[in-house]
Amino acid sequence: MARLDIEFCGIRSPNPFWLASAPPTDKAYNVERAFEAGWGGVVWKTLAEAGPPLVNVSGPRYGALLAVDRSLIGFNNIELITDRDLEVNLKEIAAVKRRWPDRAVIVSVMVPCQEESWQAILARVEDTGCDGIELNFGCPHGMNERGMGSAVGQVPEYIRMVTAWCKQYTRLPVIVKLTPNITDIRFPARAAREGGADAVSLINTINSIMGVDPDTLTMTPAVGGLGTHGGYCGPAVKPIALNMVAEIARDPQTAGLPISGIGGIGSWRDALEFIALGAASVQVCTAAMVFGFKIVQEMVSGLDAYLADKGFSSLAQVRGRALPSVTDWSFLDLNRVSKAVIDQEKCIQCGRCYIACEDTAHQAITSTRNGRRHFEVKEEECVGCNLCVNVCPVSGCITLRDLAPGEVDRRTGRAVSAERLHWTAHPNNPLRKGA
């Protein structure tokens, strides 16, 4: 049996699946149910400083982008951080951690950018016996208008400053949660490390408007006729999150900093991708909100089966394994040549590859042969762009074939070189090395 347990900047967890700081971790009732279902850890929904509780809207807090079959593609919310009393939350956290000592209990915190505010709450949080702190620098709606959440996460200096305060006032591991609503994720991540962060978690949600009602011509969802941008998450954001995780993992200034991957994880495969790109734990919210907590059992089962099938004995053996395959465009090998191949046995003759290539790409697919419907790649035109592979409705019907060194590319008439050739050294690049 493969082992799924992890240690994440000193925090132990029986599996890498944590519930992200969000509605599912609002209170003891939910978290208890989550642990019973098998979640390895939770990040408790963000605590605010003592005082009158926050007030949420009592109308639509969520919006969704749905496929035709109403499967959920993207999800958005405008819920604020906890609207419960601080004392009640702290008491519940302590009780839950006592009952579930083997699970990771991390507490998300967001207070104003004043040292004394952080000092005050960290002491109280530490008293609960929780395993770590997550600084919510990511929430992009509501709280940012009050100078917190993504308003902090968008200014690296603030990240550095607040992280340093936190490291000063608590012995617990400090995880900095990053907002994707920035231009280059490496800068806030570097600031977190400079402030002494033990880890980063990302991505938080993305600024988003879900749509406009065609009947009323008003944005949706709306509360009393008005809407506001929410935070976008769910399957649609995974590629954005994967890129940001990889950027941080391969940046020399942040390499080695533990990463908790977040963003559209709904299956073991999604989790594997984050881990292979450098994440040590993963956080889930949308999938749980769609399917309930039991979904973790499918993720655990799938990841365990994968490790067993591939002969891995721990997740650490997978972590970051895909990173060496991520590079800058400049270092892609311009001498490699691929050609699309259509498996005629599998082809169902829909012609989508043809029309996509004909109208929008390289006119490299036939639509007839000897007057009959027939779709075949014209190698003399094909640039191997992969468009046909992506629009084909049949899995495995169209594939890309890499030409072997020495084989003639019928498009250029030149033999494929065995040498690698980057743009940095390409003869057409006026700025090439040695030019």
Partner 1 sequence: MSEQRGPDIRPGRLAAEDYAAHFADHVPPLTGPQAVLEASRCLYCFDAPCVTACPTRIDVPAFIKRIAEDNVRGAATAILQANPLGGFCARDCPTEVLCEAVCVRNVQQGRPVAIARLQRFAVDRLMASTDNRIFERAPASGRRVAVVGAGPAGLACAHALARAGHEVTLYDAKPKAGGLNEYGVATYKTAGGYAQREVEWLLGVGGIRLQCGWTLASPEQLENLRRGYDAVFLGLGLADTHALGVPGEKLAGVEDAVEFIGTLRQAADPGTVPVGRRVLVIGGGMTAIDAAVQSKLLGAETVDIVYRRGPQQMRASIHEQDLARTRGVRILHWLAPVEVIGEGGSVRAVRFARQRLAAGRLEADGEECTLEADGEECTLEADMVLKAIGQRLGNPLLKQCGLALRDGRIAVDEAGRTSVSGVWAGGDCIAEGQDLTVDAVAHGLRAARDIDLRLRDTRARAEE
Binding residues (CB under 8 A) for partner 1: these are 67-69, 348-352, 354-355, 367, 373, 393-394
Establish whether the linkage from the previous residue to 203 is cis, with ω within 30° of 0.
yes
Residue labelled with tokens 């593609």: 73
**Phi, psi values for residue 59, rounded to 5°:** -150, -160
CA distance 248 to 195: 16
Q: With respect to partner 1, which residue has the nearer C-beta, 166 or 365? A: 365
Which of 13, 293, 286 is CA-nearest to residue 132? 13
Residue labelled with tokens 């599998």: 346
CA distance 262 to 248: 13
By the 10 Å C-beta count (0-12 exposed, 13-18 middle, 19+ buried), 67 is classed as: exposed
414, 408 Cβ separation under 8 angstroms? yes
* E strand residue ranges, 281-415: 281-284, 338-342, 368-369, 372-373, 398-402, 408-409, 414-415
> Hey, is 31 helix, strand or coil?
helix
CB neighbour list of residue 291: distance below 8 Å, 6 or more residues apart: none
Q: How far is the CB of 395 from partner 1 (least distance, A)?
A: 10
C-alpha to C-alpha distances, 195 to 47, 155, 165, 260, 386, nearest whole angstrom: 21, 13, 8, 18, 43
Known active-site residue 139: yes
> Hey, is 347 helix, strand or coil?
coil
CA distance 103 to 83: 25
Type of residue at 410: R
Q: Return the DSSP state at 168.
A: H
Establish whether the linkage from the previous residue to 23 is cis, with ω within 30° of 0.
no
Q: Which residues carry out catalysis?
A: 139
